[in-house]
Amino acid sequence: MDLRTAIERWASYLADVRRLSPVTVRAYRADLADLTRAVGPGADLDRVDLEELRQWLWASTTRGDSRATVARRTASARNFFRWARESGLIDVDPSLRLVGPKRGRTLPAVATAPALSDVLTAAADAAASGDPVALRDHAVLELLYGAALRVSELCAVRLADIDTDRATVRVTGKGGKDRVVPFGVPARRAIDAYAVRGRPALAARAHTDRAVEQLFLGVRGGALGPRSVYDLVARTVGPAVGTRAVGPHALRHSAATHLLDGGADLRAVQEILGHASLGTTQIYTHVSGERLISSYRLAHPRA
């Protein structure tokens, strides 16, 4: 079997059997597509050896790819060839001794609570004009931060997923796992205002009679896409973080850090974020610790 065909079978396995998200599957496929280009599009799966894999990673390094990218490609290759071996497509796994660089630990971008308060106040002021897009943007920002959602989760939220009486939202996270997440009074007010005065106006702009289930709509009445959310966050939250190169995850990172700063239990934060592993959540304890140390060094006379 040629390498390209095997990769497509593996991608189908990840999507249909492992039930990984489309974003994750695309990332895996892109990593292995890079390998296909390196060894040749017509290469046979069982002819790929350890030396070719090492040369592929070395080429990735020499062209300036980050340590995280090379480490991710190493993991993708190991996962792919392990699957191929277990599926009987190859007799020997060439990636068993493939070693990539360790990922550098990078701390997520976090905005301070006062800075985010200013951002959300400005969004509320804009929404007070009654403009449908401003009402939507305010609700988007409040829910992203208030419920610490991923952008994919936010864009998939349906009207039926929101319970404003209990101030909760049902979302589908990674691996197709559902969870119910609480949000605060400001988010509830913003969502109510958008649902009553903003969403109907946006829905009326649609060029089809087919109803859209998603809560958040674009300017043309269709479901709001991740790219629009990225643009919104870059424009509004970017200055609070200090760079326009910031996405919706900055609000998720900030919410998790602020919860821990406020004394929330780590396992409760894990449940809110939908992390499968507590270790993934623990990075936010490091963020809080870094801020504590920074504040101490700035403020303590004996620091």
- Sequence length of the chain is 303
Does 297 participate in catalysis according to the annotation?
Answer: no
For residues 205 and 139, the answer to whether their CB atoms sit within 8 Å is: no
For 92, 181, 197, 217, the CA distances from 162, given in Å and listed in that order, are 50, 10, 17, 15
**Catalytic residue at 150?**
yes
Residue 291 is a catalytic residue = no
Which one from 174, 179, 197, 291 is the annotated catalytic residue? 174
Does the CA dihedral 61-65-68-72 come out positive or negative?
A: negative
Selected catalytic residue, list 4, 170, 249, 291: 249
Is 97 one of the annotated active-site residues of the chain?
Answer: no
Catalytic, out of 28, 145, 194, 284: 284
Distances (CA, A) of 167 to 60, 85, 181, 182, 294: 47, 48, 9, 6, 35
Q: Which of 150, 199, 253, 258 is catalytic?
A: 150
Question: What backbone torsions phi and psi does residue 44 show, to the nearest 5 degrees?
Answer: -80, 145
In the residue annotation, 13 being an active-site residue is answered as: no
* CA dist., res. 302 & res. 99, Å (int): 45
Choice among 73, 188, 252, 253 that is catalytic: 252
The answer to whether 199 is a known catalytic residue is no
CA distance 169 to 29: 32
> How many whole angstroms separate alpha carbon 165 and alpha carbon 174?
26
* Distance separating alpha carbons of residues 170 and 284, to the nearest angstrom: 23
Report, as residue numbers or ranges, the catalytic residues: 150, 174, 249, 252, 275, 284
